[in-house]
Structure 1
Amino acid sequence: MFSTLDVDIRPGSGIGMFEIGSSLWSVIEMLRGLQHLFPQVEVKFDPDTSSITPIILHLRPHFDLLFSGLHQRLHTICLRKLRDPHPPVTLRYKDTVISSSEEHLIRVRVNRTFGPTYPGDELKYPGVWFSFEDDTIGEGLKGGVPHPEDRGQEVKRVFVSQTDIASEQRDALDEVAPCAVMHGDVARAVIKVHDGVLLHFYLSTAAPLHIRLGETTAQDLNIDLGPPPRVHYKEDERMMIHSPNPLAGADERSIDYFYNYFQHGIDFLICGQTNVVRKIILHSNVPGSPLFQRYKRCLWELEGKPEDDEDDTPPRMHFYDKFETIGHFLSPKDPPPSMLLDRTDEEDGITLPSSTTRLYGYDGVILEVTEASQVVTVILF
């Protein structure tokens, strides 16, 4: 016996528990607690453009969620198979049931509920449209074969999007415009080598938050970013074997700890003695990489040196640029020697098509790079 999936429709805003503009990371985190409703989640993306690919979550049998390619924000929600009883779906609009297992959603009911709209093979309103073709989400965005306007024609799919498809103002794969659900999220993280990072927040008029290496304290982070979801004490000292003096200060290093801000895609390594930030780690959340979905995508920009003191727009590299471009930006010389890292070595039962990454060290920066030349992690020290 399946419990009923009871959801409300909010044009331009969301359906049920899904809100337009939510991050991919937060949606999947939510789904982990809703396995009784969505026991099977399928993630689809283009592996050839993994850092900028739109992502679709298939929540069988009823939901398809389309996320934008760069910001990984929920762009379009598709509710389908309204008559599938596993589980049955009840759809509401302004506290009125418009579709259920007893009463199916048909053209005339949509007209009565939402009013008149422009003619076509789909009923389109600002922020919501109703399709009579039971196809995939990608084909639905292109439109289908016109049907006669039969009053009893059954709705097969319901789409909600911030984009007003009827007016064709924006492409269906454009980025989502800033909205309330993004409030408090990091909009941009500008990396300044040997200095730190500037965090710009969505819907904020305040100055960017400047987190400095060797100056910002753990207390500052608690005040400015709130308590971290996890504090992790640094016990892995295997990299110290590459240090010129691996035994020096081992006791002091063992008490360093991380502040893990998964919801911002950022970690801070904090000195155990001084409680000051020693390293900053920013994550790209690239699909198919070993750390995918552990952190929200951080939209980082690596800032270069300005041409002169009056240069207000120094050159920058972005998270979606290839390693070869970023590496040349950091150092025009040949790439430095790299070290292999397999993050699945200590994870039994996890297999990935490409689990190995490489670490490239530059002056003040370490890049973790996939075989497809995507930078998945930036470490500032």
Structure 2
Amino acid sequence: MTARTSAQVQIFPGKGLGFLTLGASLHNILTRVKSYPKTYPSIDLSYSSTDPLCNPVVLQLPSNGLRLRFDGPDQRLRLIEVLDFPRVNLMYKGQDVLKAGKTGETTISSPQGPSFRHVYNRLFGPSYPGEYVPPADNSPYGTYVLSYPGVAFSFPLQHSAWSDQCDFVALLSSSAALPATSMAVFQGSSWPEVRAKLFTQQPQYPRSSAVVGKSRDSFADEIEQFHILGAGKLEIVRRTSPQLRINLGETTPQDLIAEFGPPDAIYRKHDRRISIHRAAAAGGDNLHLSPSPGRGMDIPDTDHSSSNSVTDDSDEDISPGNLSDSASLPAECFFNYFHHGFDAFISYPTTPGPPFPTSELSEQPHSPSSSPQLTVTKIILHGNVPGSYPFNRHRRSRWTIHLDDSDDGLTSESPYEEISKRLRGIWKEYYNNQAEERAMQRPMVLNRGWGDSPESSVEFLGGWEEPASKGPRSSSDNHDGGLGNTELFGFPGLLFEVLKNGAVSCLTVY
């Protein structure tokens, strides 16, 4: 006997299934599903280990008979599939999708899905003819897909009974058709119309299912993309609100709170072990950590908050709701915006990175102010790459680096090999020689897998002076020995955390 979820799940054609809303982020859905382990005891996540940002991500809930498909670049829910009807108690406008039969006092579910008659007469009513998919092998059954706006059912149909001239209602009502084996919920007027653009069309609903149907004034507008312009300047594209500019060293914590609401968490402590590399850069005559004359590589602290969001490791607890003035903040802390996909480092003003040499942005970075006012000095954009150590701590941030005004720039989906080639090219004239260029491009290895708990601080292995492998970024078994190692690559104003498959897991703009 197949176990069946007792809670009723409402079908909303074109919108979602229960709390599963089309357009919701992978972070939003996975976080909510994991918070109900008794309801969702089994979670399977499938993705491409070689190209996780371009190929779809599939979340399966086998105990609930559900499969959810997300696009790779934006990680938003595009398709909800019911693959095992007896495992989920579906309802549509007060009607059971699957009728249960009774044996004595025991209620048992049908081993199959709803019949065509039930779907057609009781649930959704008349429909235009669907499409027939012949069997791919020697099976005697093909598949007839019956589409309604935003929802479709698949019925096995005897191939020998199929004819283009048949009345599909009579055919599916006959013994030649079996009950439905699956149901799909999608955004569009019909399955044939939406199939080709399923993962590319603009989602109608926001990334957080909790804000669907609520007033825009009751929640902070969601971020669509960050535009990195150089010289410490970022433009933020939002879903409905006007674009917002962040100027590192000028934008204040109160500016962030006014636009994005209080942070989800505040983390004070940050890892200072990397400061040894800043000291080496300042004191050494032969190692120049910056291709920009007169400016040392200001390597950002990379203890990123996302890896240390639990306040037990913090020097003190800081309540996000107690931010009436900057005096309540420590001199250095992270604002964690998990649901917006970024962190902001708050400290006293510093000089931001220089403009890109190819950019028409002529404005030079401003000198740090002597004012005691705290400002945003770093923005950390999280890629939420499946398979990475900090996966699902933040929702995915998308960004574009605008090197000049003539092209579309480098994006969060660009392989790091492409990013590195472009950035090395624009900064090439600032290296004294090839030896200095090679020294600059040696990565620092970052391990997030060691420690007494998953929330432990990062560990740095090696340094800028030590060589690192430049070969393929994925091993034959797609494992790295369990250490979760990534590599850090720096350019003026930018620090990239890169996985072995070349995907950028995190970008720090400083």
2:215 counterpart of 1:110: no
Offset at 1:95? 2.3
Offset at 1:243? 1.6
Name 2:153's counterpart in structure 1: 130
- Separation in structure 1 between the aligned mates of residue 381 and residue 173 of structure 2, nearest angstrom: 54
Offset at 1:238? 0.9
Q: 1:55 aligns with which of 54, 57, 75?
A: 57
On the 8 A contact 2:4/2:89 being kept in 1, the answer is no
Name 1:341's counterpart in structure 2: 446
Residues 172-321 of structure 1 correspond to what in structure 2 (within 5 A)? Answer: 173-182=198-207, 184-202=221-239, 204=240, 206-244=241-279, 255-271=331-347, 274-306=373-405, 313-321=406-414
Offset at 1:245? 7.6
Structure 1: unaligned runs, 5 residues or longer: 135-143, 248-253, 307-312
Name 2:361's counterpart in structure 1: none
Instruction: Call closer, same or farther: CA 1:29–1:169 in 2, change over 3 Å.
Output: closer
Offset at 1:145? 9.8
Offset at 1:44? 0.3
- Separation in structure 1 between the aligned mates of residue 400 and residue 343 of structure 2, nearest angstrom: 16
- Separation in structure 2 between the aligned mates of residue 211 and residue 363 of structure 1, nearest angstrom: 18
Identity %: 28
2:79 counterpart of 1:76: yes
- Separation in structure 2 between the aligned mates of residue 41 and residue 266 of structure 1, nearest angstrom: 26
- Separation in structure 2 between the aligned mates of residue 261 and residue 226 of structure 1, nearest angstrom: 9
Quick one: which amino acid aligns to residue 201 of structure 1? R
Offset at 1:100? 4.2
1:273-292 Cα offsets, whole Å, 9 max, x none, are: 63200111111111111122
Offset at 1:228? 0.6
Residues 24-43 of structure 1 correspond to what in structure 2 (within 5 A)? Answer: 24-43=26-45
On the 8 A contact 1:129/1:159 being kept in 2, the answer is yes
Instruction: Call closer, same or farther: CA 1:211–1:373 in 2, change over 3 Å.
Output: same
On the 8 A contact 1:133/1:157 being kept in 2, the answer is no
Offset at 1:150? 3.3
- Separation in structure 1 between the aligned mates of residue 126 and residue 496 of structure 2, nearest angstrom: 55
For residue 49 of structure 1, give the secondary structure of its aligned residue in structure 2: coil
Instruction: Call closer, same or farther: CA 1:75–1:154 in 2, change over 3 Å.
Output: same
Offset at 1:17? 1.6
On the 8 A contact 2:402/2:410 being kept in 1, the answer is yes
1:299-334 Cα offsets, whole Å, 9 max, x none, are: 11111134xxxxxx5541001111121112222145
Offset at 1:169? 4.6
Tell me the TM-score normalized by structure 1.
Answer: 0.85
Q: 2:196 aligns with which of 162, 166, 171?
A: 171
For residue 326 of structure 1, give the secondary structure of its aligned residue in structure 2: helix
Name 2:89's counterpart in structure 1: 90
Tell me the TM-score normalized by structure 2.
Answer: 0.64
The structure in which a higher percent of residues are strand is 1
Instruction: Call closer, same or farther: CA 1:8–1:80 in 2, change over 3 Å.
Output: same
Instruction: Call closer, same or farther: CA 1:133–1:59 in 2, change over 3 Å.
Output: farther
- Separation in structure 1 between the aligned mates of residue 203 and residue 145 of structure 2, nearest angstrom: 28
On the 8 A contact 1:90/1:101 being kept in 2, the answer is no
Q: 2:492 aligns with which of 335, 339, 363?
A: 363
2:106 counterpart of 1:67: no
For residue 223 of structure 1, give the secondary structure of its aligned residue in structure 2: helix
Structure 2: unaligned runs, 5 residues or longer: 102-108, 132-143, 163-170, 208-215, 283-329, 349-371, 429-436, 456-477
- Separation in structure 2 between the aligned mates of residue 65 and residue 94 of structure 1, nearest angstrom: 23
Instruction: Call closer, same or farther: CA 1:160–1:169 in 2, change over 3 Å.
Output: closer
- Separation in structure 2 between the aligned mates of residue 367 and residue 145 of structure 1, nearest angstrom: 58
Instruction: Call closer, same or farther: CA 1:3–1:10 in 2, change over 3 Å.
Output: closer
- Separation in structure 1 between the aligned mates of residue 160 and residue 150 of structure 2, nearest angstrom: 22
- Separation in structure 2 between the aligned mates of residue 64 and residue 26 of structure 1, nearest angstrom: 16
Name 1:161's counterpart in structure 2: 186
2:508 counterpart of 1:379: yes
On the 8 A contact 1:108/1:151 being kept in 2, the answer is no
Aligned pairs, number: 354
Offset at 1:131? 1.3
Name 2:421's counterpart in structure 1: 328
For residue 251 of structure 2, give the secondary structure of its aligned residue in structure 1: coil
On the 8 A contact 2:150/2:186 being kept in 1, the answer is yes
Instruction: Call closer, same or farther: CA 1:279–1:133 in 2, change over 3 Å.
Output: farther
On the 8 A contact 1:73/1:176 being kept in 2, the answer is no
Instruction: Call closer, same or farther: CA 1:50–1:146 in 2, change over 3 Å.
Output: farther
On the 8 A contact 1:63/1:77 being kept in 2, the answer is yes
Quick one: which amino acid aligns to residue 118 of structure 2? R
For residue 172 of structure 2, give the secondary structure of its aligned residue in structure 1: coil
Instruction: Call closer, same or farther: CA 1:82–1:119 in 2, change over 3 Å.
Output: same
- Separation in structure 1 between the aligned mates of residue 280 and residue 410 of structure 2, nearest angstrom: 34
Alignment RMSD (CA, Å): 2.8
On the 8 A contact 1:234/1:255 being kept in 2, the answer is no
